[in-house]
Amino acid sequence: MTVQTIREDSARAIAGGVAPRRWGSWYIAEHRIRAMKGYAGDAIFQSFGNPLIYLFALGVGLASLVPQGVGGVTYLQFVAPALMATAAMTVAANETSYPVLMGFKWNPIFFGMNASPITGAQIVNGMMIQIALRAVVTVAIYFGVIVLFGGVPSATGWLAIGAATLTGMAIGVVISSYTSTITEDRGQMAMLQRFGITPLFLFSGTFFPLEQLPIYLQPIGWISPLWHGTELGRVATYGLEEPIWLTVTHVGYLTTLFLVGLWATRKHFTRRLNK
């Protein structure tokens, strides 16, 4: 063994910290993407299966009840952006619920990651990179299928992929900021689904315009990231007419929610890893 002075040790440590400090988030993303191999089948089925089923049921089935369409477009064109945003939300919600609980508790890989130079914030970043990637692929496939069904009249339609992904991520970080604080599983995930995701899905102007709801229920839509994301998608796919300030609000709201959720999640991860 070569004799090293403590100074050399310190210098080596500081040098060893450089790459992980800079690229750590990407190393985590790499890990999570590799781990997706384990559930690739499910993920692919979700990506291709869901759009086909939903589009068939809604675009063909339900649409026949509303032959006049909604707000000047066909019913399929109306629901398509909502379905895309919902798909992103579903992916993000899945990835930020049980996997977060697992990583702290049943298969505590977060502690393993943190024992290396990786920080709690980087673990969160890396997870979000992987989730965003999965969401964007899922939504893009959805988009492709919708185009085939004639659901996207506008040339700027592809921007809805971004809107949907941003929506999913905004919801995902809010969920992870909560799930990262759960220490005992008392069925909170089912509650989250029942009182969080499902109402969002139903009351966010997804299947019918928000204005159809009685006025006292409409605020659900205004605070719902899914509503903002869906409306944004509609602006992109068929040029939904709304004041420009409202479009800006959609983007601003989703971005703010994402940043706040990300900040809170990182904070909770960091605190929980530092036992």
Partner 1 sequence: MPQPVITASQLTKTYGDFTAVDAIDFEVAPGESFGLLGPTGAGKSTTMRMVGAVSTRTSGDLSILGLDPNAHGPDIRSQLGVVPQQDNLDQELRVRDNLLVYGRYFGLPRSVVAERADALLEFAQLADRRKSKVDDLSGGMKRRLTIARALINEPRILLLDEPTTGLDPQARHILWDRLFRLKEQGTTLVLTTHYMDEAEQLCDRLVVVDKGRIMAEGSPASLIREYSSKEVLEVRFGSDKNAEIAESIRDIGERHEVLPDRILIYTGNGEAELEQITQRGLQPITSLVRRSSLEDVFLRLTGRSLIE
Q: What are the residues binding partner 1 (CB under 8 A)? A: 1, 3-7, 9-10, 12-14, 16-21, 23-24, 27-28, 30-31, 34-35, 38, 107-109, 111-119, 273-275
Instruction: Between 20 and 144, name the residue whose CB sits nearer to partner 1.
Output: 20
| Residue 91: CB minimum distance to partner 1, A | 17
Smallest distance from partner 1 to CB 262, Å:
20
The angle subtended at Cα 213 by Cα 208 and Cα 215, nearest 5°, is 145
Instruction: Say if residue 67 is exposed, middle or buried (CB neighbours under 10 Å; 0-12, 13-18, 19+).
Output: exposed
For residue 57, give Cα distances in angstroms to 68, 79, 83, 142, 238.
18, 11, 12, 15, 21
CB of 128 to partner 1, least distance (A): 17
- Minimum distance from residue 9 beta carbon to partner 1 (Å): 4
d(CA 180, CA 271): 10
Minimal distance, residue 201 CB to partner 1, in Å: 28
Considering the complex, state which of residue 68 and residue 183 has its C-beta at the smaller distance from partner 1.
183
Q: Which is nearer to partner 1, 250 or 266 (CB)?
A: 266
Look-up of token digits 């440590």: 13
CB distance 130 to 29 below 8 Å: yes
User: CA geometry: angle at 182 spanning 180 and 187, to 5°?
Assistant: 125
Q: Which is nearer to partner 1, 86 or 125 (CB)?
A: 125
| Cα(23)–Cα(113) distance, integer angstroms | 14
Closest to partner 1 by CB, 23 or 158: 23
